[in-house]
Amino acid sequence: MSNQPQWTAKKYMGDDSHSWAVVDKRYLPKGHRGVIFDYLPSEAIMYTGLNRSSAQHYVRQHKPAKQRRCLVSCMCPKCWTNHPDNLKK
């Protein structure tokens, strides 16, 4: 197992609209699809009793942020020093 948790939204212990949970993917069998009907350890589950959109929101919130690439037409102040046009000068 890797050191960092890999959170994912899965159906957990039910088949109604509020059966979604945020689960650590490392505790699931490889290629698992469908509803999880097995009890998982407490460190494998972050949230339970969510609807699908809430579960996806929490997954996105806990994923590491991707570094945004600077565009040539970028006007944000933090990009001015590393902007491609300014590096040529």
Convert the pLDDT of each residue in 39-85 to its tens digit: 889 899 999 999 999 999 999 988 876 666 666 666 666 665 555 56
Q: How far is 48 from 8, CA to CA, in rounded Å?
A: 12
Name which residue leads in pLDDT, 80 or 14.
14
What confidence tier does 87 reach under pLDDT thresholds 50, 70, 90?
low
The DSSP annotation for 13-71 comes to S-SSTT-EEEEEGGGSPTT--S-B-S---GGGEEEEEE-HHHHHHHHHHHSPPPPPPPP
- pTM score, two decimals? 0.65
> Domain residues for 74?
1-89
Q: Which pLDDT does position 77 carry in this prediction?
A: 61
Total domains present in the chain: 1
